[in-house]
Structures are given as structure tokens and as C-alpha cells.
Amino acid sequence: MENLADLSDIEDFDIEELDDGGALGVVTADTSGDAASLDRRMSVLAELVSAAAAADRLLAAASAARAEAVDEVRAWCLSNELAVERDRARRTARAEAVEQGLTPPADSAADSAVDSGSVSAGVAGSRWNALEIAYRTAISELACALHISQASASNLMAQSEALTGTFTASRNALAAGQISYAHVRVLIEHANILPTAARAAFEAEMLPQAKRLTVPQFDRTARRLREKSHPESITVRRSKSQADRTLMFEPAADGMGWLHSYQQLPVAQAIFHRVNDMAASLQGPDEHRTLAQLRADAFAALVVDGVTPAGLGRGIRATVNVTVPVLTLLGRSDEPGHLEGCGPIDPETARELAAGAPSFTRILVHPETGVMLSVGRDQYRVPKDLRRLLVIRDETCRFAGCNRPAARAEMDHSHEWQEDGITRYDNLASLCAPDHRLKTQTNWTVTQSPGGELHWTAPSGLHYRSDPAIPFEPPGAVDDPPPF
């Protein structure tokens, strides 16, 4: 813990005692000739920089410790589920032997003692095998505990397994604070593209570079070595990677958002050059927009109003839900609107979207709308208007930490239908298909509080809360419809 002591020493510095008339580290007319004063000031700067570097080494060491802890979660879940699977196979074989009269019945007390150490995270009769239950349990528990997405938890678990296995040299360098976790991610990403037999040599050659290069420099160096070392041609690998092409949307602050597209390099370059040429053609003495702004506007116009190979043409618009306060719509308030899946948008944008809307869906609380809030036990299927209300309330999948859109999710009965749950607004929530299966196939459980607040309990017994985007609770009691 010597590094921590260094940090505490820095905090004890009295800056005023070191200041001889000028600001700390600033050479003034009064102090410029004082060599001793300059030496003292630069010494303070060196100590401060060293403290920052020491803290960074602590972060690296903590990342190495986290990798070991995460891999222990993975290994425990796997060994536990495999033990449960072996125990079930043993029980089945013994039951068959007893039924055939080949062996006497076992002592139930002794049997329970043997089985006490293996309890599956999967529900009885789960369709998932031991490997699937272990994997999904580990990443869902880690995602909730670390407040990250399950995709991030899956990546972290894979990286942690690599650091405690193939790339132990990188883990040791990380624990010693010689490299950062960002360097480790780059190294593992490039190495995993290589055949298994070539990864150790790749690490051995790249690790010294990681200790002296910035992450972007290291990434470029690693990419060149990977291309040189890979036994397959880039043509073959490009064909495989082409299957991973995608387009992603990421909300940003202040009513803005990002679009990310992963494409073949020539396609990505061609898209950029075409948009850039269109933007450049719009420049002129009367054009106040910058080239970057023109590129963004040209891209938006081309994508929103352009013609696709399938023949979809000008004016095609996606359906979005925008909640606009009435007074904002009338221009009497500056309260922001709410764009589904993104959050607040400025009043002017909200009014523009409302002005161009072909129709409106009136969203009021019960009882004015006539929206059916419950069908009780009469039907399992969620009525269309109730589903619309829940999608707006939830906005995303309601598993803790999940951000998949509610519009493409499934409606889940918090209190299961087969256990006498009812189809009602306060017993329903949006769950994406993977998380719906997780709830069904494992011992993750959930209860719902008034307003749509969900309380999740993990197989480990840890608890997590999920809040709706727009809390909804109609005034007064809502009775279930009569059974006729």
C-alpha cells in the first residue's frame, strides 16, 4: 500500500508555504530569477504528477483483482450447475435401479446430506442445460451488481477468463500497474482473432509495447502484427466479419443522438465520401453552416428521404411516441417533451414533431380514456390499448439494467399467469425475449409495486429495483371486470 501513502503525503502539502509571491508553478517577474524557487515549484509539480500516476497504477491493480473475482463467479456458477446436473443423473439412475429391483432404496437423510451443497439457479424442469443456466446466471448477477448491461457483463466475463487463463502475463502486468485495462482489452481483442496456438506468442511480442505506448498507438501496432501473424488471408476473414455488420443508435445529451454503423471498409468510406461531397457542394458565401454541420444535415436528408434498393422512398418515417405537455403544445409553457426511449427534448422540437404528426393518441389516466386496465383471469393475451399504455410507461425492458426498447418486448405477468396471476396493468411489465426467458428458466423472481416499480430478487438472494420511465397509477381503485 505504498502508493496510498504517496497520495496522502500529497494531500498534506501546504501550497501557501511553497508560494513565494507568484502563483504555484507560474514564473513571474518577481520570481523568474530565483532558481531555488523554480526548483521547489517544479518539485511540487513532479510530486503531483507522480501522485496521479500512482493512483492510475492502483486502478490497474484493482482491475486485475476484479478480473480474478469475476472469473471466480463464472467458475463457481459453472461448477455448481455441473454438480447439480451430475446429481440429477445419479438420482435418475438410482431411481431406475430401485424400480428394477437392482438396488435397495437409499437412506433419504444421507441422500439429503450429500446433495446439500448443490442447488441449481435454474427452476425445476428448466429447458436450459447446465452450461446455459451457469452462463446466464453469472452474467445477469454481475450486470446487476456492477450496474452494467448484460452484454458488457458478458464481455467482462470473457476478458476476465482470458486474463486468468491464456493471458496471465498481461494480468500480472496489470496487477503491477505497468499497463492499463484499456491496453488489456485491445490486446485480447486482437489476440482472440488469431488461432489459439498463436496467441501466447502475440502476447509476448505485444506486452512490452503496451508498457510504453498510448492505447491508440498500441491498437495500431497490434493490428499490424495481427495481420502479419494471421495464417488466414484478410480476404477470408473479411468474408466472415461481414456477417457482423450492423447499425446502432445511441441517445446523447441535450436532445441529440448518435448513429453508429459497422460496414465493410470500402462501403463505409464510400458513404462518408458521398455525404462529404454533397455537403461540400452546399458551401458558399451565403451558407452559414460548417462543413461538419452540412455533412450531418446531408446524411439525415439522404437517409430519411432517400430511396432504398427496396423501393421505399421519400417521406418514409418511423413511428415514435412523443409525450408533449398540453401547455407546451399551445406555446404557453417551456416544459420539455419526452421522446420514447431517449428522454427529454426541447419544447420547440416537441411542437415541431406534434405539428407533423398524422394523428394523435390521447393518453390520459383512468377513467377518462376508457383504456381497459384489466381483463382479470378472462384472458392471458394483453389487449392492444393496455399494451400501448405499458410500452409508454416502461419505455425499455424492465429487467434491472436492460435498455432494449419496450416496443419490441414481450408482456410478462409479474405474478405468473399459471399461478393465478391476472392480466392487469399493475401485474404486467415489458421484458425483452432473453430476459423473459431468464425469468422463466431460472430462479430470478420479481414483484411489482404501485406505479410500476419492479423489485427483482436474484438466485443469489441479492435485490435490485427497476423504475418505470413514466410512473403510472390511476386514481382510485381499479376493480377487475366481472366474470361474465
Domain boundaries, the chain: 67-242, 243-305, 322-355, 374-466
What is the CB neighbour count within 10 angstroms for residue 335? 14
Which tens digits make up the pLDDT trace of 74-125?
Answer: 999 999 999 998 888 888 888 888 777 777 776 554 454 345 457 899 988 8
Which tens digits make up the pLDDT trace of 45-88?
Answer: 889 999 999 999 999 999 999 999 999 999 999 999 999 988 88
Name the least confident of 127-141, 337-351, 411-425: 337-351
Task: Tell me: pLDDT of 484 over 60.
Answer: no
Task: Tell me: pLDDT of 288 over 70.
Answer: yes
What is the pTM (predicted TM-score) of this model?
0.67
Task: Tell me: pLDDT of 181 over 70.
Answer: yes
> Average pLDDT in the 22-45 region?
61
Per-residue pLDDT at 338: 66
Task: Tell me: pLDDT of 416 over 90.
Answer: no
Per-residue pLDDT at 325: 66
Per-residue pLDDT at 243: 75
Q: Label residue 454 by pLDDT band (50, 70, 90).
A: very high
Task: Tell me: pLDDT of 439 over 60.
Answer: yes
Q: Label residue 214 by pLDDT band (50, 70, 90).
A: very high
